[in-house]
């Protein structure tokens, strides 16, 4: 069992093979955080926490202990209102208008396995996994509130997850003003830097690292989506931490809506970390006997730097977050017509691209936006999910058959959550979008957001998508979402529940996705939100890959993919070769560099294959052969970052096969610099004693030589150049 309970000291010790998490039921039943970090033996119980807040400015909740203030205690899931002035994990308004609660330990339960969270995505365990769960029930008798804290220990994955369930056990109505998923305090420790992933459309997941100082930091989205702007990820790092060394405490929320992550250093040198649904514009009415379950936070500790942190996230997400047929299956190399045609295509054009693609060895053709309604631009038709017979006279069925005859499978783009004001659907159901009466409706990309907090809208979506997906032999779906929420309100919710709209939307969306991915379990789903605007673990639970960014420029992608790889595994990152000059940034890079960048993820093309020259076709055929050879390693091996483009003029990373007998190394020079000495790149993750042959040469290296002395990078670097190196163990 990975969870131990010491009855005498009321101490819980949660342990993975390299991590310990310790908490204790303290004075009068308050739950105290004792330790989180490298695995330790049980802590000495005579020396857990000493608290001496002498100041009257840290008031005392218990009159029989005048030295005890919650303000000075490291806590788990703190309530608001009695002596702890830091950010609470939740806040509740009672019927009398008061917002004070006080949670005390009531009971706990330890068991094997990990429960699912109803209606929400979460990591899971399978038979044979070493996974245990601790539930601690805290109560506020006056409010009639119980809070169940869930801690699951995925021992083999070296991960601990947390979530909370708030239950109204009383007789009065409770209104949740905030309900985060987790909160914990690092005791007497503020020596951290905060790392998070920020960005924008076409510039997702750039890395930011800042000292936390003695202040309060917020990483959040108020956009109704996890967003391009901030990813629901944050990590606390020691100053010396880099890719290979130093401590990292990482937190990632399994949720796709507005979120908040906070780091708050406080006067007694503690650091509070909390994460969950954003409390801004959130509220939830909890009637007697109702429950509210928060999303899950995945917590990863690494004492060996960021690569080790990423390895843990990658393995967990590949194996115990993603689900379905494609979880363990190699993903097809695809071609998508978006950048080749935008909205301007017909059957003949699509078939010509598909035909050229099939001759190159591409495995899947994806028909992007523009196939339905009268959609000839982004100004109409979202919601009208019937084929535009002017463009595709034979419908999807004939097109899919033609593509199948070319020995490729057929995939389709949809954007189900949206509605164009210029659509049949909107004319028939103007009440079906998010809106606030008497206010104008802001459009983004000429579209409005469907109100997925409504059951009728969700039912409609399941029905209409089911009929589209059954209308042809479709084996892949790209599920897009191209604007954020404004005028967040629902016409069917009563006034006191309007602030539930955004979370109800997420529950509706997850319900629709769950229904469709179960019903169409043979289909490979890829999520997308104007590129990588919803690249989060919530989406990966339903759809095992995500379009990383609309920016397909190879150089911009180095930064985007480097940042994304901190948390999300390469198999989840859609990355394609597109035309030049690049459509987003106008840069021209070689076909080779574009391919070597895209081959670090889930590979494909985004161009008009019919327009390629014979020389380009030959080069692409070789690229496809190469990717097929390295695919198992890239998609299911271990990934290591080697050189950080945010810190210099180069980037490098590598993938190593699970058995460590093979690896592929990617090296990129961003801008050439004159007169540089030869460069040796130090590899990672190899077996020190194995001899590796540099493919296509007869050079042989020991693993330790490659990792400690490094491998020489050929001298022919130029602006935007890339090199791909393969090494294989000698037979």
* C-alpha separations of 430 from 121, 420, 421, 450, 490 in Å: 30, 10, 8, 10, 12
- How far the first Cα of the chain sits from its last, in Å, is 41
- Written as six digits, the tokens of 323 are 């689900």
Site string for ligand DGJ, 333-362 (x = CB under 6 A): -----x------------------------
Is 368 a binding residue for ligand DGJ by CB under 6 A? The answer is: yes
257/531 with CB nearer ligand DGJ: 531
Q: Does position 530 bind ligand DGJ by CB under 6 A?
A: yes
For the bound state, the minimum distance from the C-beta of residue 340 to ligand DGJ, rounded and expressed in Å, comes to 12
By C-beta, is 124 or 547 nearer to ligand DGJ? 547
- Phi, psi of 674, deg, nearest 5: -75, 150
Cα(34)–Cα(184) distance, rounded to whole angstroms? 9
- DSSP class of residue 388 equals -
Q: What gap in Å lies between CA 1 and CA 494, rounded to an integer?
A: 47
**Rounded Cα distance, 480 and 533, in Å:** 10
Shortest distance, position 589 Cβ to ligand DGJ, whole Å: 19
Tokens at residue 239, please?
Answer: 């100053």
Distance CA 628, CA 361 (A): 10
Contacts of 96 (CB under 8 A, 6+ apart): none
Q: In which residue are the tokens 């908490």 written? A: 23
Which of the ranges 216-224, 273-281, 322-330, 526-534 carries the binding residues for ligand DGJ, by CB under 6 A?
A: 526-534
Determine how β-strand 448-449 pairs with β-strand 691-694. unpaired
Return all residues near 611 (Cβ < 8 A) that are at least 6 apart. none
CB of 206 or CB of 687, closer to ligand DGJ:
206
Q: b/e for 235-252, b at 16 or more Cβ within 10 A?
A: bbbbeebebeebbbbbbb
Cis omega before residue 598 (within 30°)? no
244 close to 682: Cβ distance less than 8 angstroms: no
Q: Of 71, 132, 185, 550, which residue is the catalytic one?
A: 550
Subset of residues 545 to 564 that bind ligand DGJ, contact rule: CB under 6 A: 547, 550
Is 385:372 a contact under the CB 8 Å cutoff? yes
Alpha helices in 406-496 (DSSP H): 424-428, 455-470
Of 282 and 413, which CB lies nearer to ligand DGJ in the complex structure?
Answer: 413
Span from 153-161, 233-241, 485-493, 525-533 in contact with ligand DGJ (CB under 6 A): 525-533
Interface with ligand DGJ: number of residues (CB under 6 A): 11
Nearer Cβ to ligand DGJ (291/585): 585
Task: Supply the minimum distance, in Å, between the C-beta of residue 163 and ligand DGJ.
Answer: 31
CA 304 to CA 317: how far, in whole Å?
A: 20
List beta partners, residue 134: 110, 151
Cα–Cα nearest to 480, from 528, 543, 409, 541? 528
Q: Whose Cβ is closer to ligand DGJ: residue 372's or residue 547's?
A: 547
Query: Of residues 477-516, which lie at the interface with ligand DGJ (CB under 6 A)?
Result: 480, 482
Site for ligand DGJ in 401-420 (CB under 6 A): 413
Catalytic choice (480, 536, 553, 579): 480
Contact between residue 319 and residue 327 where contact means Cβ atoms under 8 Å apart? yes
Nearer to ligand DGJ, 122 or 414 (CB): 414
CB of 357 to ligand DGJ, least distance (A): 17
Q: Choose, by CB under 6 A, the member of 232, 531, 569, 601 that binds ligand DGJ.
A: 531
Residue 456 a catalytic site member? no
Give the number of other Cβ atoms within 10 Å of residue 145's Cβ: 24
For ligand DGJ, give the closer residue by CB, 20 or 602. Answer: 602
**Residue 201 Cβ, how far from ligand DGJ at the closest point, in Å?**
9
Binding region for ligand DGJ (CB under 6 A) out of 226-234, 301-309, 422-430, 523-531: 523-531
Q: Going residue by residue from 441 to 480, which x/- string records binding to ligand DGJ, judged by CB under 6 A?
A: ---------------------------------------x
Instruction: Return phi, psi of residue 132, to 5°.
Output: -130, 155
CA pair distance 13, 2, nearest whole angstrom: 8
Please give the angle made by the CA atoms of 316, 318 and 320, to the nearest 5 degrees: 50
| Among candidate residues 491, 527, 549, 518, the one with its CA nearest the CA of residue 228 | 549
**Out of 148, 528, 595, 664, the residue judged to bind ligand DGJ by CB under 6 A:** 528
- Selected binder of ligand DGJ within 243, 369, 384, 608 (CB under 6 A): 369
Compare residues 547 and 640 and give the one whose CB is closer to ligand DGJ: 547
User: Residue 372, interface with ligand DGJ (CB under 6 A)?
Assistant: no
Q: Are 36 and 186 within 8 A, CB to CB?
A: yes
Q: Considering only residues 37 through 66, tell me which ones interact with ligand DGJ, judged by CB under 6 A.
A: none
Instruction: Tell me which stretch binds ligand DGJ (CB under 6 A): 469-477, 524-532, 634-642, 680-688.
Output: 524-532
**H or E segment and range at residue 359:** helix 347-360
Residue nearest to ligand DGJ (CB): 369
* Beta strand spans in 548-595 (E): 573-578
**Among residues 324 and 530, whose Cβ is nearest to ligand DGJ?**
530
> Would you say 156 or 550 has its CB closer to ligand DGJ?
550
Q: Quick check: 594 and 616 in contact, CB under 8 A?
A: no
Q: Which two tokens stand for residue 513?
A: 């996705």
Residues 6+ apart with CB under 8 A from 337: 345, 350, 353, 365, 366, 367, 368, 608
Nearer to ligand DGJ, 132 or 368 (CB): 368
Annotated active-site residue 480? The verdict is yes
The pattern of x and - marking residues 299 through 338 that bind ligand DGJ according to CB under 6 A reads ---------------------------------------x
User: What residue ranges bind ligand DGJ (CB under 6 A)?
Assistant: 338, 368-369, 413, 480, 482, 528, 530-531, 547, 550
Catalytic residue set: 480, 550
């Amino acid at each position: 069992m990975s969870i131990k309970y010491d009855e005498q000291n009321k101490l819980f010790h949660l342990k993975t093979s390299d991590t310990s998490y310790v908490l204790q039921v303290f004075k009068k039943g308050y739950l105290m955080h004792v330790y989180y970090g490298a695995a330790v033996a049980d802590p000495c119980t005579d020396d857990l926490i000493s608290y001496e807040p002498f100041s009257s400015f840290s008031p005392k909740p218990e009159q029989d202990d005048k030295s005890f203030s919650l303000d000075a205690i490291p806590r788990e899931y703190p309530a608001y209102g009695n002596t702890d002035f830091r950010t609470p994990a939740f806040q509740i308004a009672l019927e009398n208008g008061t917002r004070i609660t006080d949670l005390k330990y009531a009971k706990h339960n330890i068991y094997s396995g990990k429960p699912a969270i109803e209606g929400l995505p979460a990591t899971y365990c399978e038979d044979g996994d070493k996974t245990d769960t601790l539930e601690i029930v805290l109560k506020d008798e006056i409010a009639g509130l119980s809070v169940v804290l869930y801690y699951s220990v995925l021992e083999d994955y070296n991960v601990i997850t947390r979530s909370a369930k708030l239950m109204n056990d009383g007789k009065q109505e409770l209104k949740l003003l905030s309900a985060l998923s987790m909160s914990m305090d690092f005791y007497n420790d503020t020596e951290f830097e905060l790392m998070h992933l920020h960005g924008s459309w076409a510039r997702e997941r750039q890395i930011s690292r800042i000292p936390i100082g003695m202040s309060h930091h917020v990483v959040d989205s108020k956009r109704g989506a996890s967003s391009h702007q901030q990813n629901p990820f944050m990590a606390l790092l020691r100053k010396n931490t880099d890719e290979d060394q130093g401590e990292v405490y990482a937190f990632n929320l399994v949720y796709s809506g507005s979120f908040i992550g906070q780091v708050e250093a406080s006067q007694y040198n503690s650091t509070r970390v909390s994460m969950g649904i954003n409390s801004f514009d959130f509220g939830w009415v909890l009637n007697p006997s109702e429950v509210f379950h928060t999303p899950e936070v995945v917590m990863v500790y690494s004492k060996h730097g960021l690569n080790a942190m990423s390895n843990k996230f990658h393995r967990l997400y590949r194996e115990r977050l993603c689900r379905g047929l494609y979880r363990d299956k190699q993903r097809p190399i695809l071609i998508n017509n978006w950048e080749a045609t935008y909205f301007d295509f017909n059957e003949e054009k699509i078939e010509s691209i598909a035909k050229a693609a099939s001759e190159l060895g591409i495995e899947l053709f994806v028909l992007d936006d523009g196939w339905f309604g009268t959609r000839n631009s982004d100004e109409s038709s979202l919601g009208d999910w019937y084929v535009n017979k002017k463009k595709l006279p034979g419908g999807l069925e004939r097109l899919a058959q033609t593509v199948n005859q070319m020995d490729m499978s057929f995939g389709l783009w949809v954007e189900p959550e949206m509605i164009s004001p210029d659509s049949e659907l909107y004319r028939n159901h103007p009440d079906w979008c998010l809106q606030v009466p008497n206010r104008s409706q802001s459009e983004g990309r000429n579209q409005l957001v469907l109100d997925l907090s409504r059951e009728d809208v969700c039912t409609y979506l399941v029905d209409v998508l089911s009929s589209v997906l059954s209308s042809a032999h479709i084996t892949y779906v790209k599920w897009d979402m191209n604007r954020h929420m404004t005028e967040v309100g629902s016409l069917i919710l009563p006034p006191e529940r309007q602030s539930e709209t955004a979370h109800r939307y997420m529950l509706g969306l997850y319900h629709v996705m769950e229904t469709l991915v179960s019903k169409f379990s043979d289909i490979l789903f890829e999520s997308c939100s104007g590129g990588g605007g919803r690249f989060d673990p919530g989406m990966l639970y339903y759809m095992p890959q995500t379009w990383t960014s609309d920016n397909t420029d190879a150089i911009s992608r180095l930064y985007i993919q480097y940042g994304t790889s901190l948390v999300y595994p390469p198999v989840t990152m859609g990355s394609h070769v597109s035309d030049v000059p690049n459509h987003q940034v106008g840069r021209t890079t070689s076909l080779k560099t574009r391919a070597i960048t895209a081959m670090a993820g889930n590979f494909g093309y985004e161009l008009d294959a019919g327009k390629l020259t014979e020389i380009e076709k030959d080069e692409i055929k070789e690229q496809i052969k190469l990717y097929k050879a390295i695919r198992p390693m890239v998609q299911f091996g271990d990934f290591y970052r080697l050189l950080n483009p945010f810190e210099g003029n180069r980037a490098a990373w590598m993938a190593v096969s699970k058995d460590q007998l093979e690896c592929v190394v990617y090296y990129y020079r961003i801008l050439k610099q004159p007169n540089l000495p030869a460069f040796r790149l130090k590899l990672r993750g190899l077996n020190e004693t194995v001899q590796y042959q540099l493919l296509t040469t007869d050079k042989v290296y020991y693993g330790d030589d490659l990792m400690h002395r490094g491998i020489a990078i050929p001298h022919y670097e130029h602006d935007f150049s890339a090199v791909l190196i393969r090494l294989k163990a000698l037979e």
